[in-house]
């Protein structure tokens, strides 16, 4: 306690980090933070620009009794542990991994405190090994002692005897133990890693959750000579700061409402997936009629896909929040990208509106545009890197079916059921179509 009456103490309490800070992050996100650290290790090992992470592996195990995660991503040395890894926040002068996804210096500690009351962290590089084992209540009781003591490296957890890191948490918090013991949570973690770390899995990294291998989520666009997604690359520069490379890809894919929307990717880590909120432009009405805007999302736009990539050697420059669960709307980088997202999305939505109108006129099975899309091949977003304009077929470029008009009328159910039986059909629509054909044939002779 500061007993100097002329000063006010701003010294933090340990309980703030152990019991309060952990409330801000969902359990699922805390697990993902530890996976992020493994991926940064892989980047240090293979080079930040490498697209080959084959042979690298992350294994996550959790149950009501224990959580563990281990990798063979090269480990980190004693000096890094001593100077940075266990500090709360990133100290000035920290030489972080270029293009990393661990930025704020809080993820690992927050996860450990979130999970339980005792943890072991140990790592081995080609040159050395070290370990830290902490009984959290004992550490918390020494209010003015902010160090974690070294402990003996135990070994025995390496993957294929390769350098790497092993983390184990025991004496789990009651709520954490309950979640870790359910199949629902296991499926949730698998689904999140599949989506959030898709790029690293597609580069060859293997991630296992309770023995289940996680595959990468697939993001693909219809792409032909006459139907192409727009791809736009540009760089956001500010004096004295690392540039941010931005790539926006917008186009159409299969009609799946839950997959439609914007995806935001920062340094390879997916921050938002299938986002359909005002934060990404949906339903924002512009006061200036000359500026494009997007309507509120509804299922008519279930074919829309938009992906925005932000990449920078300095991970503090990409527009994510500290939990990597949302974008930083106040970021100038985000605001610059947002303007282009709206403009590029508008072209794609205009085409979807035309497609919807044609389906209304011709029906889903006979629409020429729909037929073209149905037969179109798809390309992975990972290969769509070169600038190109959005290209979509217009009615003059596709074979047109004879125009049609919809006929609607109502009749008593009893009479419809009678005709269904008499005509051998099984729907009211089929009754209408068949009776129309009969009358047409009779009058045409």
* C-alpha to C-alpha distance for 97 and 75, rounded to whole angstroms: 13
**What are the residues whose beta carbons fall under 8 Å from the beta carbon of 436, sequence distance 6 or more?**
407
* C-alpha to C-alpha distance for 164 and 41, rounded to whole angstroms: 8
**In whole numbers, what is the pLDDT of the chain averaged over residues?**
89
User: Among 174, 217, 177, 171, which residue's Cα sits nearest to residue 194?
Assistant: 217
What does the pLDDT average to over 77-91? 80
Counted residue by residue, the chain has a size of: 445
Instruction: Provide the whole-model pTM.
Output: 0.82
Residue 279, classed as helix, strand or coil, is: helix
pLDDT of residue 387: 96
C-alpha separations of 211 from 37, 58, 69, 112, 198 in Å: 20, 11, 12, 22, 18
pLDDT of residue 131: 95
Q: Which residue has the higher pLDDT, 263 or 363?
A: 263
Pairing mode of beta strands 206-209, 57-62? parallel
**What are the residues whose beta carbons fall under 8 Å from the beta carbon of 239, sequence distance 6 or more?**
none
**What are the residues whose beta carbons fall under 8 Å from the beta carbon of 210, sequence distance 6 or more?**
60, 61, 62, 186
C-alpha torsion sign, points 242, 243, 249, 250: positive
Query: What angle (nearest 5°) sits at the alpha carbon of residue 108, between those of residues 107 and 114?
Result: 85
Chain centre distance of CA 39: 15
Ranking 47-56, 189-198, 244-253 by mean pLDDT, the lowest is: 47-56
* C-alpha to C-alpha distance for 143 and 326, rounded to whole angstroms: 34
Chain centre distance of CA 355: 28
Percent of the chain clearing pLDDT 70 (strictly above)? 93
Beta-strand ranges (E) seen in 281-359 are 304-311
* C-alpha to C-alpha distance for 140 and 112, rounded to whole angstroms: 14
As given in the structure block, the two tokens for residue 37 are: 């650290």
DSSP 294: B
Helix (H) or strand (E) holding 334: helix 332-362
pLDDT band at 7 (very low <50, low <70, confident <90, very high): confident
* 228 beta partners: 391
Reported as a single tens digit per residue, the pLDDT across 104-156 is 567 888 899 999 999 999 999 999 999 999 999 998 888 888 888 899 998 88
Reported as a single tens digit per residue, the pLDDT across 219-255 is 999 999 889 999 999 999 988 899 999 999 999 999 9
Pairing mode of beta strands 304-311, 261-266? parallel
pLDDT of residue 94 exceeding 70: no
C-alpha torsion sign, points 296, 302, 308, 309: positive
pLDDT band at 214 (very low <50, low <70, confident <90, very high): very high
pLDDT band at 395 (very low <50, low <70, confident <90, very high): low
Reported as a single tens digit per residue, the pLDDT across 305-347 is 999 999 999 888 999 988 888 999 999 999 999 999 999 999 9
Chain centre distance of CA 130: 33
**Other Cβ atoms closer than 10 A to 395:** 11
pLDDT of residue 11 exceeding 80: no
As given in the structure block, the two tokens for residue 114 are: 């979130």
Is residue 186 within 8 Å of 20, Cβ to Cβ?
no
């Amino acid at each position: 306690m500061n007993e100097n009456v002329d000063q006010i103490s701003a010294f933090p309490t340990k309980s703030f980090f152990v019991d309060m800070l952990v409330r801000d992050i969902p359990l699922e996100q805390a697990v993902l933070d530890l996976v992020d650290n493994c991926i940064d290790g892989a980047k240090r090992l293979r080079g930040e620009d490498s697209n080959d992470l084959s042979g690298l592996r992350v294994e996550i195990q959790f149950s009501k009794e224990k959580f563990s995660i281990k990798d063979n991503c090269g480990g980190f040395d004693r000096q890094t542990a001593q100077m940075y890894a266990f500090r709360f926040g990133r100290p000035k002068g920290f030489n972080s991994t270029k293009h990393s996804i661990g930025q704020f210096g809080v993820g690992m500690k927050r996860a450990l405190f979130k999970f339980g009351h005792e943890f072991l962290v140990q790592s081995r590089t080609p040159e050395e090994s070290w370990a830290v084992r902490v009984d959290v209540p004992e550490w918390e009781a020494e209010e003015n002692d902010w160090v974690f003591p070294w402990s003996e490296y135990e070994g025995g957890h390496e993957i294929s005897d390769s350098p790497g890191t092993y983390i184990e948490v025991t004496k789990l918090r009651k709520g954490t133990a309950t979640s870790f013991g359910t199949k629902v949570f296991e499926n949730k973690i698998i689904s999140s890693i599949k989506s959030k770390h898709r790029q690293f899995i597609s580069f060859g990294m293997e991630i296992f959750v309770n023995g289940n291998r996680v595959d990468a989520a697939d993001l693909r666009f219809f792409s032909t000579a006459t139907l192409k997604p727009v791809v736009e690359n540009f760089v956001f520069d500010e004096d004295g700061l690392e540039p941010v490379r931005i790539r926006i890809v917008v186009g159409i894919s299969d009609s799946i409402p839950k997959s439609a929307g914007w995806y935001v990717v920062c340094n390879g880590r997916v921050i938002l997936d299938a986002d359909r909120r005002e934060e990404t432009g949906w339903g924002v009405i512009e006061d200036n009629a000359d500026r494009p805007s997007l309507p509120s999302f509804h299922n008519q736009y279930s074919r829309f896909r938009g992906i925005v990539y932000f990449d920078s050697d300095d991970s503090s420059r990409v527009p994510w929040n500290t939990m990597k669960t949302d974008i930083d709307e106040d970021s100038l980088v985000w605001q610059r990208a947002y303007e282009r997202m709206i403009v590029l999305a508008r072209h794609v939505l205009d085409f979807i509106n035309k497609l919807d109108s044609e389906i209304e006129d011709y029906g889903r099975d006979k629409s020429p545009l729909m037929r073209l899309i149905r037969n179109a091949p798809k390309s992975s977003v990972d290969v769509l890197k070169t600038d190109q304009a959005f290209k979509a077929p217009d009615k003059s470029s596709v074979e047109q079916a004879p125009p049609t008009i919809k006929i609607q009328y109502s009749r008593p159910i009893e009479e419809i059921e009678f005709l269904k039986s008499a005509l051998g059909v099984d729907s009211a629509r089929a009754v209408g179509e068949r009776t129309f054909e009969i009358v047409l044939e009779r009058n045409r002779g």
